[in-house]
A and B are shown apart, each in its own frame.
Chain A
Amino acid sequence: METTVPTTDCCESPTSPSRRAMLLGGASFAAWAYLPKFARAADGRDPRLVVVILRGALDGLATVAPIGDPDYAGLHGSIALTSSGPNAAPMLDSFFALHPAMPEFARMYRQKQAAVIHAVATSYRERSHFDGQDVLESGFAGPGRVQSGWLNRALESLPKGERVTSALGVGPTTPLVLRGAAPTVGWTPVALPQAAEDTAMRLIELYRHRDPALAAALTQGLALDKAAQGDDMKPKPGSNGIAAMRLVARGAAKLMAADDGPRIGALAFDGWDTHANEGGPVGRLAQLLSGLDGALAEFETGLGPRWRDTVVVVVTEFGRTARINGTAGTDHGTGTVALLAGGAVKGGRVIADWPGLKVANLYQARDLAPTTDLRAIMKGVLQDQFGLAERVLAETVFPDSTSVKPMKGLVV
């Protein structure tokens, strides 16, 4: 007889996470399902790569503010950061300051384990979120190619090692960047009384005969949930969005820290589309950045000794208008930042070919003009971390991108 009566500490606690909180935090995590051969390379390095996608378009000028640019304060107006006074933004060098909601990233930067690349954009120059995300994640030069993502194609180009799970399939929340032929696994933390194992086995048997796609999905869903469960998965009450972001990062780090865990993961956080009341040093964007900062700290803690060999890349589909709009927010723009964090990052630097913020220098007189192609950064990281050849990067991973050279020296 199957019984599924929940226990008191299962999921009625007011502090336990919900799928909904996760989704509203917009967070999900997916990873590659093989243990790559390079993981046991002779030099003892066991590289890991995490790609964090911020959906909605991050305001790069608010995240890493060009305080030294004479036009910045005027353009960003009431939400501009300052390097003095209450909520001062810490200076990263003589020109750029970091948003004050990111103390962990600031510490990593001081420890030379974090870097910023500014005035970055993909090759996409329109302003639709959904197309912009498709370009960012597919790695193709234009929208409309959503069958596979660049990270998946990078994996396909690597020698395959042992499988880390027994199931194939792509989760609903698998970001496009990791979708494709190479098998991946997905996971979302959730607490719910679970169906009895026997019921699940019977259902899988039925699906095997009648519905192989659902058989694969369910098998994988059951396997992953087991792998990710732990005792310390409960978020702190209160700040749910932030807690949700940390929670996903903690679970992902736990999976990736294992000796047979995935080496490559991708996750996405929603909510960065700050059209109105974006806020300056405190406010809406500050809360989101604080959540991101916490997620990065969770990766550092959770990966433990593996942090040494890790690169976390934080990217977004495009930037936002340089000038604030009529509602103390910013509209869809172009150039923005990319952030790198991890023990393997050659950090303590803001890398920028700064275009300037004079109106004549803005892209279409409204956006930060991009001077670095985001693909150059991703290519540089993939080359340094996993030894992918430049030709593979230019033809397979980021098709038709021969003219975009990998950025050198991002990894220690």
Chain B
Amino acid sequence: MARDSQAALVALNRFGFGARGGASGDFVNAASDPRGFVKAEMSRPNGVLLEVPGLQSTAALGKAVFDYQFEIQQGRDAAAKSAPAAATEGPQPPVDAKGQRRNLSLNSIAMDMAPREPPAKPQENANASMTPPETMQPAAPKPPPQPLNIIQKTFRAEALARLQRAVIADCGFTERLVVFWSNHFCISANKGGVARMWAGSFEREAIRPFVLGRFGDMLKAVEQHPAMLFFLDNQQSLGPDSRAGKNRNRGLNENLAREILELHTLGVGGGYSQDDVTSLARIITGWTYAGRQGQLGAPGTFVFNANAHQPGAQRVMGKSYESGGVAQGEAVLADIARHPSTAKFIATKFVRHFVADDPPPALVARLADVFGKTDGDLKALATALVDSEEAWKAPLTKVRSPYEFLVASGRLLAQIPGDPGRYLNGLNVLGQPLWAPAGPNGFPDSNAAWAAPEGMKLRLDISAQIASRLADTIDPRDLLELVAADAASMETRRTVERAESRQQALALLLMSPEFQRR
């Protein structure tokens, strides 16, 4: 059987999450049929879904979190009444409680080393106090930790399911696609308790079903998902001439409309104007979700609130959209999903993610063409990428993102997580907190972001911590065979072999160019 070790590195690292340890045989399989190894997962579209017992729908989670927040608020109101003098505006006790919870065992853990402050963003009060630290370590012997609240529990369960899937996946290509699209259509769990509650279900419901489906369907599912409507404030946006807008003397919020055009579809320079943003904002007024009392529908589900919708026809990108309730906005989304600017924007981002920071123009053009001709078939897009020559010939110049690095480490060391804490803390330390990018443009996707001095130093520290915990039972020389076999450089081989300890050897292996570059 032909064996192409260099192509195996591309298959495993550029397209996947890296070789698994143990007896997986990943490197050998990838070397004998690199393209087949990558594409095998795509023949199982349902395999992209994440259906794990215990994970609930957005609606069920919404109901739970609304009730939880309602109880907290009632408790606060009662406390404020009984002690009016002390009733200052910021509810402090939950913050203090967080501080006390973090008494952790010291020397057991690699990635737990980073201290874990809760998100630092000042936010709306009710939400800010409920944003949990991703940090609970039940092992602490001393002061018993407070029980996790429902938001923390949910977030950790969602994170765990995602991490487990990534660590055990055969190649990991479809999971990489999930991460790509989830970052393209990102929300931030730091927006508040509701967003943290929904971060996982958003990805399961609005991203995963369409990763090998149609872009237009994903777009619609995303923009109508309660998590996105909350993240970009659309549930607050009212048509100025709608009944609710007139009654309450409130009006438009352009946030979601702008990011739909700028970040989700056409891209900056994609041919839209400020007027298009405003028009789209008017068109999607009324796109919201039902709240705790369920006046508009089942709590936590998408609803179209005609009372908040700006009446009348609107022009977007030179085309008039007649008044028609929710269909008016859906028609706009369907059109911009097919716009050539969208095809170009998506193809560029896709190639930049998988191939190179400076994406080869011919490959971008070909993928944009596929996107356009197939009406945004994302399976066809991924297939065209894997079938291209460029994706296999381009040198492995990109440095793994923190998420890719930590998942690849877990796979190599055969550590299927039973608790997400170490991963979450590692991601925090390395600047890629799960489901919580700093802005609606998502995490960056370049070496400038991930291969910078501070980041590389922290990676080394984390690698050393992982090694200090796990190296006793492994032989780093065997692991190097699993990672790169005869594609490993002489220098890397020598560096690993000559290390002064197993711990040092493993840390160096995890930091080697063969492991860091993809």
Contacts and interface: CB of A to CB of B under 8 A. Distances in A.
B10 interface: no
A275 B253 contact: yes
B441 interface: yes
- The size class of the interface chain A forms with chain B is 35 or more
A186 B431 CA distance: 15
A203 B508 contact: yes
Interface stretch (B94-102, B337-345, B347-355): B94-102
B113 A6 contact: yes
A196 interface: yes
A239 B489 CA distance: 48
B448 interface: yes
A195 B461 contact: yes
A4 B109 CA distance: 11
Contacts of A220: 453
A21 B117 contact: yes
Interface in B175-190: 190
A206 B491 contact: yes
Given A196-B464, A213-B451, A8 B106 contact: yes
Interface string A258-301: 00000000000011010111000010100110010000000000
Contacts, number: 273
A377 interface: no
Nearest to B256: A275
B262 interface: yes
Interface stretch (B37-45, B193-201, B233-241): B233-241
Interface string A322-338: 00011111011000000
Interface in B423-464: 428-431, 433, 436, 438-439, 441, 444, 447-458, 460-464
Contacts of A331: 253-255
Interface string A196-229: 1011101101110111011011111110110000
Interface in B497-513: 499-501, 503-504, 507-508, 511-513
A217 B190 CA distance: 30
B504 A241 contact: no
Given A190-B454, A326-B250, A327-B236, A20 B428 contact: yes
A224 to B, nearest CB: 7
A23 interface: yes
Interface string B86-126: 00010000010001101110110000011111111111100
Given A11-B114, A171-B453, A199-B507, A192 B253 contact: no
B168 interface: no
B468 interface: yes
Contact of B489 (A198, A210, A221): A210
- The size class of the interface chain B forms with chain A is 35 or more
A288 B122 contact: yes
A18 B245 CA distance: 43
Contacts of B121: 24-25, 241, 271
Contacts of B250: 326-328
Interface in A1-25: 1-6, 8, 10-25
Nearest to A209: B491
A174 B491 CA distance: 31
A148 interface: no
A143 interface: yes
Contacts of A130: 268, 441
Contacts of B447: 213
A129 B120 CA distance: 21
Contacts of A126: 274
Nearest to A242: B122
Contacts of B461: 192-195
Contacts of A287: 122
B329 interface: no
Given A210-B513, A241-B122, A276 B233 contact: yes
A26 B113 CA distance: 21
A128 B267 CA distance: 10
A270 B441 CA distance: 13
A326 B455 contact: no
B113 A167 contact: no
A238 interface: yes
A13 B450 CA distance: 27
A359 interface: no
A220 B451 CA distance: 12
A210 B429 contact: no
B452 A169 contact: yes
Interface of A: 1-6, 8, 10-26, 55-56, 126-131, 143, 167, 169-174, 185-188, 190-196, 198-200, 202-203, 205-207, 209-211, 213-214, 216-222, 224-225, 237-244, 270-271, 273, 275-277, 282, 284, 287-288, 291, 325-329, 331-332, 364
Interface of B: 89, 95, 99-100, 102-104, 106-107, 113-124, 190, 233, 236-238, 240, 245, 250-255, 258, 262, 268, 274, 277, 399, 428-431, 433, 436, 438-439, 441, 444, 447-458, 460-465, 468, 489, 491-492, 495, 499-501, 503-504, 507-508, 511-513, 516-517
22 contacts: A2-B468, A2-B504, A4-B465, A12-B102, A13-B115, A15-B99, A17-B117, A19-B114, A19-B428, A20-B119, A24-B121, A172-B431, A192-B114, A193-B464, A202-B508, A203-B511, A210-B513, A213-B451, A217-B453, A217-B456, A325-B254, A331-B254
